């Protein structure tokens, strides 16, 4: 519920008095925060609330900087919690700017996110706050609080707190500019939806429900957009090579040319910031706080994966080219727009796996409920509807309870519409803090309301895994170590591990039903599993290319390269397919803003996930003791210690990447046709 201006002004006056006294205010007992997003607010209200909350937060932070009391965790981090709490009411702006249907709300949320980023930059450059933390005597602290203090001081030093005042102001200005450029970059991708128009006959091969959903216009033409629910069925099923090529060209040109200039500025400004902070490159700055540690180690890891893929990739390309030549005898190479289509043909012909049959068992609502049931079974919780306003009729809201007690709440905005975030992602709307604050999450995905591809089901569970991580990582007392505050190159690992359950028959049989109510046959799931690794080497090589693009755009002086030239060089070296003239992937690769140099994270965390899953493979996917161990030792650890330590706690040993790298070759070798299918053929 929004506060009145008079109440807020009164609070501000009281806080200003407190800041002048230099002493922290006595904490006032408050109920657990369990409210929701301000779904019905208009742009002007978002802007006003943002300014009020920021002024309140600045007053709280001034009180923190002016403290003269004993330097204790309770005094210093307790007061910082007040700063964070004042922004909770507008903490959802990062989500609203990506999902809200009202452009005025999206714009107001974007401006608010920029103001918040600037404020947090100011906090990170505050010498009084740094000095207060540095004065804390750590010898009597427990391990979590000692780790929090040490990591906070390290983050301050990375932010440039030790620089002179003029340099600190330059750093703050640079960070504000970087945020604004990144917001524009993301907005261009989100709002640049392109399309092609074709004759209805070009839809040959696509599922009937897809064809029915795309009627011809008055000119007799069908419009197909670059939105995911339009794009992926075309790439997988359309027999028309020209349609697939045309749509791929449009999809990989979104954001261009505007985002080329923005990305050049973004890279240049980040490099300038890194040099100002004493780092050789922005990649070095960005990886200094990660598990991997440095760009050199990141490159070595990516190279180790790439080297393992050389033979499997060539084998897969040869198989696909042979199949392509059955239809196009003159073909010399497989193009990227042919890949999914050829792989689907091979699944059908070599494994008797009909992907269109598979999708008939995955209706959106049943998939959603199945993921909820899996969560309830594994972790002993209950998921129920949450009656709260939303910003669009498609948005669903739920809450998670355990033994009747509320654990957290979340929104799912899971269907496409204009100007909405076009991929799939999780937002932490609020961290959970022990005995004080209930976590809240938001998903933004783009699934059809009807039948889903199995790959979309996998994506759903992946993003829901992030949501669960936020829900369960609420056992810590302090915000800096609560939620998903561990190293960022770990955060994908739990979600990637959970993807394995979507290949498990016992899991699928609970919700995968066709419209006749028939459960997906075990024989069909067996075929899906047998064909699972088809194209895996090529898919991983694509990820290695993306990771190298991310790393190499940020690990050098931006004056030493041009975007197009370096992209094509890296594409030729790492990608499985040749460059498609007229496409500009960097202009629509949103991770170049959000993950900057660190897209390697997906492969790195997949290596961790492979190791984590080894315990479930041994104990059983439905083993409640192992699931509880995973929840307690991995998810609930939050950022209370280095990720390598809680991974070792769960595994009983240190993790390594060897198992993952071996699997890229070994699993490729085990892809064979089931004997029954060989006989049928």
pLDDT tier for residue 332 given thresholds of 50, 70 and 90:
very high
Nearest residue to 364 via CA among 246, 497, 512, 504: 512
CA distance 287 to 293: 5
pTM: 0.89
When pLDDT is cut at 50, 70 and 90, the band that residue 34 belongs to is low
Each residue's pLDDT tens digit, 614-626: 999 999 999 999 9
Task: Please check the confidence at residue 28 and state whether its pLDDT lies above 50.
Answer: no
Confidence of residue 25 (pLDDT cuts 50, 70, 90): very low
What is the rounded average pLDDT of the residues 599-606?
97
The tens digit of pLDDT for each residue in 157-215 reads 999 999 999 999 999 999 999 999 999 999 999 999 999 999 999 999 999 999 999 99
- Which pLDDT band, with edges at 50, 70 and 90, does 666 fall under? low
* 502 confidence band (pLDDT: 50, 70, 90): very high
Q: Is the dihedral of CA 25, 27, 30, 32 positive or negative?
A: positive
d(CA 358, CA 388) in angstroms, rounded, equals: 35
For residues 11 and 353, the model is more confident at 353
Tell me the domains of the chain and their CATH numbers. Answer: 5-124+126-159 (1.20.1050.40), 193-251 (no CATH), 364-535+602-680 (1.10.1370.40)
Q: Which residues of 499-534 are buried (b: 16+ CB within 10 A; e: fewer)?
A: bbbbeebebbbebbbbeeeeebeeebbebbebbbbb
Pairing of strands 425-430, 195-198: unpaired
pLDDT at position 662:
85
Confidence of residue 129 (pLDDT cuts 50, 70, 90): very high
pLDDT per residue as tens digits for the range 422-452: 889 999 999 999 998 999 999 999 999 999 9
pLDDT level of residue 89 (50, 70, 90 thresholds): low
What is the SS3 assignment for 433?
strand
- Among 165, 206, 647, 656, which residue's Cα sits nearest to residue 453? 206
- Give the tokens for residue 76: 């210093």
Q: What is the pLDDT of residue 678?
A: 29
pLDDT at 6 over 80: no
Look at 666 and 350; give whichever has higher pLDDT: 350
């Amino acid at each position: 519920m929004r506060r009145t201006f008079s109440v807020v002004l009164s609070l501000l006056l009281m806080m200003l008095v407190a800041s002048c006294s230099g002493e922290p205010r006595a904490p006032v007992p408050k109920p657990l925060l369990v409210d929701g997003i301000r779904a019905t607010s208009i742009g002007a209200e978002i802007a006003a609330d943002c300014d009020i909350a920021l002024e309140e937060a600045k007053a709280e932070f001034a009180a923190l900087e002016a403290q003269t009391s004993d330097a204790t965790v309770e005094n210093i981090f307790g007061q910082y919690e007040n700063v964070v709490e004042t922004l909770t009411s507008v903490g959802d702006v990062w989500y609203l700017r990506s999902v809200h249907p009202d452009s005025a709300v999206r714009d107001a949320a974007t401006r608010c996110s920029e103001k918040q980023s600037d404020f947090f930059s100011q906090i990170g450059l505050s010498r009084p706050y740094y000095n207060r933390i540095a004065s804390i005597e750590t010898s009597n602290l427990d391990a979590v609080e000692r780790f929090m203090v040490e990591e906070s001081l390290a983050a301050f030093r990375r932010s440039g707190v030790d620089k002179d005042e003029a340099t600190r102001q330059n750093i703050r200005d640079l960070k504000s500019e970087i945020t604004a450029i990144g917001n524009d970059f993301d907005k261009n991708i989100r709002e640049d939806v392109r399309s092609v128009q074709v004759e209805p006959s070009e839809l040959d091969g696509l599922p009937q429900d897809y064809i029915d959903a795309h009627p011809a216009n008055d000119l007799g033409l069908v419009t197909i957009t670059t939105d995911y629910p339009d794009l992926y069925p075309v790439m997988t099923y359309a027999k028309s090579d020209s349609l697939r090529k045309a749509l791929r060209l449009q999809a990989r040109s979104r954001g261009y040319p505007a985002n080329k200039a923005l990305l050049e500025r973004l890279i240049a400004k980040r490099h300038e910031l890194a040099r100002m902070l004493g780092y050789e490159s922005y990649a070095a700055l960005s990886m200094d706080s990660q598990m991997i540690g440095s760009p050199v180690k990141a490159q070595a890891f990516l190279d180790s994966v790439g080297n393992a893929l050389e033979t499997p990739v060539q084998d897969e390309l040869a198989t696909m080219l042979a199949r392509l030549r059955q239809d196009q005898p003159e073909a010399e190479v497989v193009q990227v727009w042919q890949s999914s289509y050829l792989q689907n043909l091979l699944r059908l012909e070599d494994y008797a796996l009909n992907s269109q049959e598979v999708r008939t068992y995955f209706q959106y609502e049943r998939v959603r409920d199945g993921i909820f049931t899996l969560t309830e079974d594994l972790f002993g919780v209950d998921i129920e509807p949450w009656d709260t306003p939303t910003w669009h009729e498609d948005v669903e809201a739920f809450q998670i309870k355990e033994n009747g007690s509320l654990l957290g709440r979340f929104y799912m905005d899971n269907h496409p519409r204009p100007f909405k975030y076009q991929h799939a992602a999780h937002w932490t709307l609020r961290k959970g803090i022990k005995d004080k604050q209930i976590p809240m999450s938001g998903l933004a995905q783009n699934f059809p309301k009807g039948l889903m591809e199995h790959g979309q089901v996998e994506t759903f569970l992946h993003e829901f895994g992030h949501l669960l991580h936020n829900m369960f990582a609420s056992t810590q007392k302090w915000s800096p170590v609560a939620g998903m505050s561990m190293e960022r190159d770990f955060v994908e690992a739990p979600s990637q591990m959970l993807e394995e359950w979507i290949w498990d028959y016992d899991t699928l049989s609970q919700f995968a039903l066709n419209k006749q109510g028939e459960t997906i046959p075990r024989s069909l799931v067996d075929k899906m599993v047998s064909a699972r690794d088809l194209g895996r080497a090529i898919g991983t090589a694509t990820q290695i290319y993306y990771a190298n693009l991310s790393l190499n755009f940020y690990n050098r002086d931006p004056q030493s390269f041009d975007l197009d030239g370096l992209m094509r060089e890296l594409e030729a070296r790492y990608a499985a397919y040749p460059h498609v003239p007229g496409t500009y992937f960097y202009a629509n690769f949103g991770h170049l803003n959000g993950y900057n140099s660190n897209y390697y994270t997906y492969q790195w965390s997949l290596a961790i996930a492979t190791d984590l899953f080894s315990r479930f493979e041994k104990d059983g996917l439905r083993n409640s003791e192992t699931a509880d161990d995973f929840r307690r030792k991995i998810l609930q650890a939050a950022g209370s210690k280095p990720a390598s330590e809680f991974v070792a706690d769960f595994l009983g040993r240190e993790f390594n990447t060897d198992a993952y790298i071996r699997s890229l070759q070994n699993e490729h070798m085990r892809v064979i046709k089931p004997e029954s299918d060989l006989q049928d053929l």
